[in-house]
Each structure stands twice: as structure tokens, then as C-alpha cells.
Amino acid sequence: MKKKFSDKRQLEKWCRWTARILGTSFLLTFLTIAICGVIGDGPLDLSEVPLADRFGFLAMFGMCLGIVVGWKWEGIGSALILCNFAFFWIAKQMAPMINLAFGSLLLSGILYFIAWLLKRRDT
């Protein structure tokens, strides 16, 4: 009986820390690219950006917020990541495409959700 509890706690920790590492590495990469873009090209004029791209930026901001929030509250963080991920796919119409960066975001949201579920079942 004690072994199952220990295995469950280990899985919860593994899911939480893997989600944190994946999410934070994505966030740092995204921020680096964004900052370099602003330094190189200057600030973005949103009036020249298509509507779908504006919604994509909004969804990316929501996913980045979910990564940060997930460090404290896995349930809210996973909801922010997964909902904004779906919103991003719809806005950008890229449902069949998944690459390493977006795959790591999706996996991070799923792992936060699993960690949240395992934590809830313990209490």
C-alpha cells in the first residue's frame, strides 16, 4: 500500500518538473526571439498585422502566462496553456502542423494537468 502512494507521488513530481522544464525552456526561447526581433526590427505596428496573427499573439501570451502560473497552480496553468493552444491553432489554421516548439507546449500543458489530477486525488 505504501509503495503505490510513493509511486504516485513520484509520478506527480516527475510530471510537474518535466512540465516546468519544457514550459520554461519554451518561454525563454520565445522571449529571446521576441526581444531580438524588437531590437533588430523595432516595435511591431499592430495595425499592419493581419487579424489571425493578432489572435495568435494573444494566444501565445496566454500560453506564456500559463507556463508561469503553472509553477504555482498546475490546474490553472494547464487550463491556460491548453485553451490558448487550441485558440492558437484555430486562429492560425494550423491544426495538421505540430513541431517541436508547439509539441513541447502541448506536452507541458498535458503534464501540468496530470500533476494536478494526481495531486487532487491525494487529498
Q: What type of residue is 122?
A: D
Output the average pLDDT for the chain: 84
The model's confidence at residue 1, banded by pLDDT at 50, 70 and 90, is: very low
Report the interhelical angle of 100-122 vs 2-41 (nearest 10°): 140
Query: In angstroms, how far is the first alpha carbon of the chain from the final one?
Result: 16
Could you tell me the pTM of the whole model?
0.82
Residue 2 pLDDT > 60, yes or no? no
Sign of CA dihedral 37, 42, 43, 49: negative
Mean pLDDT of 21-46: 82
Cβ partners under 8 Å of residue 111, min gap 6: 15, 16, 18, 19, 22
Better-predicted residue by pLDDT, 61 or 1: 61
Question: In the prediction, which pLDDT does 91 show?
Answer: 78
In this model, does residue 50 exceed pLDDT 50?
A: yes
When pLDDT is averaged across residues 43-70 and rounded to a whole number, the result is 85
